[in-house]
């Protein structure tokens, strides 16, 4: 098989890139090690920046998101038994975010790819990028007892943190920076109406909590937990009890509870690999960078990488210019590092760190107090939360 762009990974970054390129008449194939069912069943992010929404529109896959997604004009910071609303819309001259689950976004993108007849190979093992430093890159993978080869002009490594693309790069050509946080998030999905119309990010002595949603009847809630916490120790009743204890009384009293149908623990880390281009191989999304989920930047960063790569490839194929390709890594990383900084800051401000002493505690309180009394401080939070410009 020969295509112009071979994409490793059928997550949001690979699917969005494939859809944009397909609409522009550029041929792609997506190769993923997982099954279609597994990919469609994953529950992850839930908040889309306007830039991500615009890319979904440009890719022609925004109809269901526009109909069913929930535009949010603000969110709440809860601490010290009270709420402080961050007026995203007012602070950013009219920007908002869209609450729409990654699961739904993935479903829309896979559905459109199938309707358009672009190929995806699922359950491919030993996917390997070759010769990306030269002019004739190709991929190999194993499936049904055979090794297959895909020749291409470029390889997009959209295969997440545990993928092969980053690992295929010689160690001396890549630098990684990492910070691991000493806690995780325990999250549930439950078919109950959200406790509030807007998201609540809560700082509490027992640990951070986040009240989010997927729709008006489906809630997504998270609580900070120890890294060695075992999911089987968390009955639904224990989760609800702990969540309530971390929220101001009026929310705790209003909370509707019910059985959870998804429950998982995610570790928190910041990680960046630099550069993000190696000849004809590009790293995109989680393959190159991970942020802690506080601030909802992971999926949105994957989308902004796609924006830069899509435009670079368009310039290559339509304008015969490699300027965008040459600039890809520098442009993307400038934006990535700002989101890494923001996610780290939100995480630091809202979580209980096991090693924190009185000093760290007082600084956290001062930070929250400053945020609630300074429009300038609120504006910094709001402009980062809705997403910095591309
Ligand atoms: P992925 O979604 O990881 O997709 C990578 C794809 O590559 C997968 O389909 C995988 O099967 C495939 N792949 C992997 N290895 C190989 C291989 N060797 N060969 C072929 N294919 C391969 N972000 C938020 O903003 N908010 C959240 O609440 C949030 N929660 C998260 C919870 C969890 C448990 C995780 C893991 C992530 C979460 N994120 C969250 C981050 C967000 O989901 C990611 O940033 C986003 O999925 C990145 O998209 P991606 O396409 O780059 O990578
Ligand atoms: C969700 C996750 C986040 O990390 C966040 O900051 C907001 C919402 C969510 O899963 O809904």
Q: Does ligand 2 have an atom closer than 6 angstroms to the CB of 164?
A: no
Q: Does ligand 2 have an atom closer than 6 angstroms to the CB of 343?
A: no
CATH topology of domain 5-71+97-177+269-347: FAD/NAD(P)-binding domain (3.50.50)
Rounded CA-CA distance 30/7 in Å is 5
Q: Does ligand 1 have an atom closer than 6 angstroms to the CB of 299?
A: yes
Q: Is 317 in the active site?
A: no
pLDDT classification of 298: cutoffs 50, 70, 90: very high
Contact 26, 5 (CB under 8 A): yes
Nearest atom (ligand 2) to Cα of 213: 11
* Percent of residues, the chain, with pLDDT higher than 70: 100
Residue 126 CB neighbours (<10 A): 11
Return the residue whose CA atom lies nearest to atom 28 of ligand 1. Answer: 45
Distance 237 CA to ligand 2 centre (A): 22
Ligand closest to Cα of 98 equals 2
Q: Is 122 in the active site?
A: no
At 111 the pLDDT is 98
Ligand closest to Cα of 298 equals 1
Q: Is 100 in the active site?
A: no
Q: Does ligand 1 have an atom closer than 6 angstroms to the CB of 127?
A: yes
Q: Does ligand 2 have an atom closer than 6 angstroms to the CB of 101?
A: no
Task: Tell me the average pLDDT across 275-296.
Answer: 98
Q: Does ligand 1 have an atom closer than 6 angstroms to the CB of 11?
A: yes
pLDDT classification of 275: cutoffs 50, 70, 90: very high
165-205 pLDDT tens trace = 999 999 999 999 999 999 999 999 999 999 999 999 999 99
At 182 the pLDDT is 98
At 32 the pLDDT is 98
Contact 271, 289 (CB under 8 A): yes
pLDDT classification of 95: cutoffs 50, 70, 90: very high
Ligand closest to Cα of 385 equals 2
Task: Tell me the average pLDDT across 147-175.
Answer: 98
Q: Does ligand 1 have an atom closer than 6 angstroms to the CB of 33?
A: yes
Q: What residues does each domain of the chain span?
A: 5-71+97-177+269-347, 182-268+353-386
Strand residues in the chain grouped as ranges (E): 5-8, 28-31, 47-48, 70-72, 75-79, 82-86, 97-99, 120-121, 125-130, 138-143, 146-151, 154-157, 175-190, 200-202, 209-215, 218-225, 260-274, 277-278, 281-283, 289-290
Distance 12 CA to ligand 2 centre (A): 16
Contact 152, 5 (CB under 8 A): yes
pLDDT classification of 68: cutoffs 50, 70, 90: very high
Query: By C-alpha distance, which of 155, 88, 159 is closest to 302?
Result: 159
At 92 the pLDDT is 98
Please pick, among 129, 137, 194, 293, the residue that the annotation labels catalytic.
293
- Pull the structure tokens for residue 49: 């920046």
Beta bridge partners of 273: 176
Q: Where do runs of H (alpha helix) occur along 276-374? A: 298-319, 323-350, 358-373
17-34 pLDDT tens trace = 999 999 999 999 999 999
At 242 the pLDDT is 98
pLDDT classification of 145: cutoffs 50, 70, 90: very high
CATH architecture group of domain 182-268+353-386: 2-Layer Sandwich (3.30)
303-320 pLDDT tens trace = 999 999 999 999 999 999
At 307 the pLDDT is 98
Task: Tell me the average pLDDT across 70-75.
Answer: 98
DSSP-derived secondary structure for 170-216: -GGG-EEEEEEEEEEEEEEEESS--SSSS-EEE--TT--EEEEEEET
310-364 pLDDT tens trace = 999 999 999 999 999 999 999 999 999 999 999 999 999 999 999 999 999 999 9
């Amino acid at each position: 098989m020969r295509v112009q762009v071979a994409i490793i990974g059928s997550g949001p970054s690979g699917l969005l890139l494939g859809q944009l390129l397909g609409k522009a008449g550029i041929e792609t194939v997506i190769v993923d090690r997982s099954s279609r069912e597994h990919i469609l069943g994953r529950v992850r992010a839930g908040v889309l920046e306007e830039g991500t929404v615009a890319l979904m529109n440009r890719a022609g896959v925004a109809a269901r998101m526009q109909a069913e997604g929930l535009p949010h004009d603000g969110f709440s910071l809860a601490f010290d038994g009270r709420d402080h609303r961050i007026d995203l819309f007012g602070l950013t001259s009219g920007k908002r975010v869209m609450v729409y689950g990654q699961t739904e976004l993935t479903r829309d993108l896979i559905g459109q790819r199938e309707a358009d007849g672009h190929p995806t190979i699922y359950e491919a093992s030993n996917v390997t990028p070759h010769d990306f430093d030269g002019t004739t890159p190709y991929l190999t993978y194993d499936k049904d007892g055979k090794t297959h080869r895909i020749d291409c002009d470029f390889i997009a490594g959209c295969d997440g943190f545990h993928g092969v693309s980053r690992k295929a790069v010689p160690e001396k050509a890549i630098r990684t920076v990492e910070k691991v946080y000493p806690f995780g998030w325990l999250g549930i999905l439950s078919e109950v109406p959200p406790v509030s119309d807007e998201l609540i990010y809560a700082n509490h002595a027992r640990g951070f909590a986040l009240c989010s949603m997927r729709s008006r009847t489906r809630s997504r809630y998270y609580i900070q937990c120890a890294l060695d916490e075992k999911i089987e120790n968390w009955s639904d009743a224990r989760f609800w009890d702990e969540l309530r204890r971390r929220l101001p009384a009026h929310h705790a009293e209003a909370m509707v509870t019910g059985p959870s149908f998804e429950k998982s623990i995610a570790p928190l880390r910041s990680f960046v690999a630099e550069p993000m281009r190696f000849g004809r191989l590009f790293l995109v999304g989680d393959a190159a960078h991970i942020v802690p989920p506080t601030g909802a930047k992971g999926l949105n960063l994957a989308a902004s990488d796609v924006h830069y790569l899509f435009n670079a490839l368009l310039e290559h194929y339509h304008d015969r210019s490699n300027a965008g390709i040459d600039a890809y890594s520098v442009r993307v990383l400038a934006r990535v590092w700002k989101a890494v900084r923001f996610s780290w800051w939100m995480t630091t401000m809202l979580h209980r760190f096991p090693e924190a002493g009185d000093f760290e505690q007082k600084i956290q309180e001062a930070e929250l107090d400053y945020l609630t009394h300074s429009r300038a401080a609120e504006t910094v939070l709001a402009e980062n939360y809705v997403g910095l410009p591309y």
